[in-house]
Amino acid sequence: MEYNREYFKGKTAAVTGGASGVGNALCEELLLSGVTALTILDFNPENLAAQTTRLTEQYPGIVQGILCDVRVETEVKAALDKAASFGKGRLDLLINCAGAAFACKFTEEPGGIVPGHPFISEVGDNTSWENAFALNFYGALYGCRAAIPKMIEQGGGQIVNIISGIAFAPMAYQSQYGATKAALLALSLSLRAEYAHYGILISAATPGTTATAIFKSADVPPDAQSPTQSATRILKGITQNTRLILGDDEDTSGAITNFGPDGVARSLDQVFSSLARSRKEGNTSFTGYDEPVVSEADQPSITFINALKTATDDEIIVKKTDAYLKTREKTVFCPDTYKGKNAVVTGGASGIGLALCETLLDCGAKKVVLADINEKNLTEQTNRLEALYPGKVSGFITDTSDEASVKHLIQTASDSFDGTFDLLVNCAGLGRMGLFTETPDTQTMIKNNSWLTVETQASWERLFAVNFYGPLYGCRAALPIMVRQGSGKIVNIFSGTAFLGEPFQSVYCATKAALNLFTLCLRYEYFDTAVQICSASPGLVNTPIHAGMLTGGGNLTPREAAEGILAGAANNDRVIMPAPMEHATAIYAYHPIMGAGLDHFVNATADKRRTGSAVQY
């Protein structure tokens, strides 16, 4: 694939993970295109020395290699300082390519680990989760945090974060990989909107299926691209400032399809469950799945999505989407579904969580456990509901950021259920808006916007602890119980901001995107159990969470959102979206034709928020 090499002539660049695979191919192509200074950052000293020596011989004086562990922020900052110095004070392009694929079981249920198995030879503990995020997510975040102030000072620049198609194509036994790459995609799109004002162009890019060492023991697909082919496609996207650069046709199809509604979702369930079955049997190829069987009732949604694949105009996409969503059948809420059921709801003392508890009790649930960190709210709501539904309500003070607290909740609740643990809804979460880094106008913006603050590493870790790890801990504690009993449902609540990448919400978007892909990966990892795992995006709902995000309220009441979530869970919907606009957002978010329109929308939102209004435009 040809690209405009002149675009890179005279520029300075840095590439993390640049000593092997796609990163190395990007370095070679950039040098061929005429960059005047190239810094290669890599963790492997042997590879780094070899590639730096080889490229320096071909391009004397314009290549330097720096040993760097991207998991360590001080190392990333020091390396990029050196890169800018090497570029005579400029850093025009940063490509965050360092990363690794991760595969493991989420829990030892069902069946335990299988030594030597390419996917299930180990269980992912907290240390491995932290390492996956450190390498695949925080490494790029540190790069952005170090490069953006330099680029603002020099009047502009460009950053590209290398993700993977798994960011929107969940795979069994790769919940760590999926979550980290989805988080990086959301971060990239959020920062793209936040920093367009300063002339900084930020994109996410998938390499496509590429024959590199990332496959490790896996069979390389016969149609895999070479690293050079992937690099040229990425560089073409860079020259065009593409919002989401899709590395091959499969990624393009996946980006359009993988959050489709109705029959599309049911077809995807068949495909990814089939792939999960193949993986469980030890098959490492990407071709071992059965074609989905599509019913007549599901055909309209398939036809609709296929039409979007060939659409060349964003207005046509919007019209087709609007027409389909107006005619689709809404999932009917049937209260009897939850009669006699036992449930735990985190964040159950306010907002959507409280509405879920109230709705379940109104449906005749046998017992509902409210879990919340706010003791005052929890006591008030537990007492109120217990008076209305005697013997059916319990309240547990729970800090979902603390695994021991969550584990105690799940085990105590399970022990109290005289039957089965039927439903867990992980609803607890924090909303947040803030600046990713300080800028020359930071203090003015904070003065004019009381809701703004500068995000710190502590705030990133706090939001991940509550919004992502809290549900993870809940799943880890509940899944073995549900698998043993042979039934159960888990619903994890995320947000449509995970798709769009809202400006000044980078931390919130990243945590919710990670949660969505994590949930869907688990859905397929547990495909052969009777446990159903769903992801749910309620849409804009008028709840207390908006006090932190200031998005101006919403278009659903908490009760409407709760009924929509419970209807979707009863139907075992892959991604539950009570609000039609959430479906539209998911369809538009990664469609390549929609890029310019989405940029216009989120950039306008950024401009409004920058001047004091926190609503969407």
* 514 within some domain: yes
End position of a domain, from candidates 257, 275, 293 = 257
Would you state the pLDDT for residue 550? 45
On whether residue 286 sits in a domain, the answer given is no
DSSP string, 130-161: HHHHIIIIIHHHHHHHHHHHHHHHHT-EEEEE
Does the active-site annotation cover 508?
A: yes
> How many structural domains is the chain composed of?
2
The edge-to-edge listing of strands for the beta sheet with 244-245 is: 63-67, 37-42, 12-16, 93-96, 157-162, 200-205, 244-245
Instruction: State how far the Cα of 492 lies from the Cα of 519, in Å rounded to an integer.
Output: 7
Q: Do 163 and 52 reside in the same domain of the chain?
A: yes
β-sheet with 489-493: strand ranges across = 393-397, 367-372, 342-346, 423-426, 489-493, 532-536, 575-576
Query: Are 304 and 273 spatial neighbours (Cβ–Cβ below 8 Å)?
Result: no
Q: 113 and 123 in contact (C-beta within 8 Å)?
A: yes
The CA distance from 483 to 332, in Å, is 28
Residue 7 to residues 170, 295, 308, Cα–Cα distance (Å): 35, 49, 31
Asked if residue 301 belongs to a domain, the reply is no
The verdict on residue 69 lying in a domain is yes
Per-residue confidence (pLDDT) for residue 330, from 0 to 100: 83
| Separation of alpha carbons 148 and 130, rounded Å | 25
What is the pLDDT at residue 612?
Answer: 76
pLDDT of residue 385: 98
Pairwise CA distance, residues 577 & 568, whole Å? 8
Q: Is residue 287 part of a domain?
A: no
How high is the pLDDT of residue 341? 98
Whether 114 and 208 map to the same domain: the answer is: yes
Q: In this predicted structure, what is the pLDDT of residue 219? A: 55
Q: Answer yes or no: do 253 and 370 share one domain.
A: no
Query: What CATH number does residue 586 fall under?
Result: 3.40.50.720
Alpha-carbon gap, residue 513 to 533, rounded angstroms: 16
* 376 domain residue, yes or no: yes
Among candidate residues 257, 277, 302, the one where a domain is terminated:
257
Q: Is 470 left (phi over 0), alpha (psi -120 to 50) or beta?
A: alpha
Domain that includes residue 128, residue range = 5-257
The token duo for 27 is 């370095």
Considering the domain architecture, whether residues 252 and 378 belong to the same structural domain is answered as no
Instruction: Pick the last residue of a domain from 257, 275, 294.
Output: 257
- 161 closest CA partner among 92, 227, 234: 234
596 and 492 in one domain? yes
pLDDT number for residue 548 = 43
Same domain, 501 and 391: yes
pLDDT for position 217: 44
How far apart CA 85 and CA 560 sit, in angstroms, is 56
Contact residues for 295 (Cβ-Cβ < 8 A; gap 6+): 263
Residues 209, 81 share a domain? yes
The span from the CA of 110 to the CA of 117, in Å, is 15
Residue 273, in any domain of the structure: no
The reported pLDDT for the residue numbered 552 is: 47
What is the distance between the alpha carbons of residues 190 and 186, in angstroms, rounded to a whole number? Answer: 6
Q: How far apart are CA 437 and CA 451, in angstroms?
A: 15
580-588 and 314-327 helices, crossing angle to 10°: 150
Q: Which amino acid is at 435?
A: L
What gap in Å lies between CA 421 and CA 410, rounded to an integer? 9
Residues 247 and 343 in one domain: no
* CA 100 to chain centroid: 16
Q: What are phi and psi of 411, to 5 degrees?
A: -70, -40
The dihedral sign for the CA sequence 181, 183, 186, 188: negative
Does a structural domain hold residue 303?
no
Q: CB of 263 within 8 A of CB of 296?
A: no
Annotated catalytic residue, options 3, 138, 142, 508: 508
Same domain? For 355 and 242 the reply is: no
Contact 377, 350 (CB under 8 A): yes
CA-based nearest residue to 492, from 506, 478, 507: 478
Task: Give the three-class secondary structure for 95.
Answer: strand
- Whether residues 244 and 344 share a domain: the answer is no
> How many angstroms separate the CA atoms of 491 and 471, rounded?
9
Neighbour-count burial for 209-226, b at 16+ CB within 10 Å, e otherwise: bbbbebbeebeeeeebbe
pLDDT along the chain (617 residues), means of 10: 94 98 98 98 98 98 98 98 98 98 91 90 97 98 98 98 97 98 98 97 94 56 82 98 96 96 97 95 80 94 96 96 92 95 98 98 98 98 98 98 98 95 98 93 85 92 98 98 97 96 96 98 96 96 57 74 98 96 95 96 91 66
